[in-house]
Amino acid sequence: MKTRLFAAIAASTLLISNAAPAAAALKTAVFAGGCFWSAQHDIQHTPGVKDVVVGYAGGTAKNPSYENHEGFLESIKVTYDPAQVSYPQLVNAFFHHIDPTDPDGQICDQGPSYRTAVFTTDATEKAQAEQVKAEVGKELRLPIKTMVLGPTTFWMGEGYHQHYAEKNPAAYMAYRVGCGRDRTLRAVWGKG
């Protein structure tokens, strides 16, 4: 009996110790891509992305909310596995899901809280994001208006905004089609 108990404890300990490094290897990135519903919906399908939550970043007040987020950008926090997708690849995927030439927002969502940005955590990420931005500029042959900014506090958005597209597919698709998001992105990126 003691041998089985010891074996069970040893196996559990081994499983836990093996799981911890994998979880610790995950990283996060924060992007502002206009409406956070669309930003979340579009990037979550990128290989290596493990989770995406919506919220607010770039402002200075504490505890912003949907009703009061002046000075903040609607943003997403992406948890990803750098063994599957590098930071520059993730930034590139983000750029290809937005119109980076629009300085005032995204498609039908215009105004300060809908501007686009890549929030970096250190000098390496900043250099990588600036490099991707330059490559996107060459690809589109247009000035890129998406900002590359430094570290920020990410404030989690309200529960009813999280995974809105999955929870409310008809309402989200009506918004997306009505806004002309896919048509606009095809025009920007020359797809379709």
d(Cα 97, Cα 119) in Å, to the nearest integer?
A: 16
Please give the radius of gyration of the chain, using alpha carbons only, rounded to the nearest integer: 19
Q: Of these residues, 30, 35, 43, 53, which one is catalytic?
A: 35
d(Cα 157, Cα 149) in Å, to the nearest integer?
A: 20
Helix axes 87-95, 36-43, angle to 10 degrees: 130
Residue 35 among the catalytic residues = yes
Of 147, 145, 149, nearest to 188 by C-alpha is 145
Q: Catalytic residue positions?
A: 35
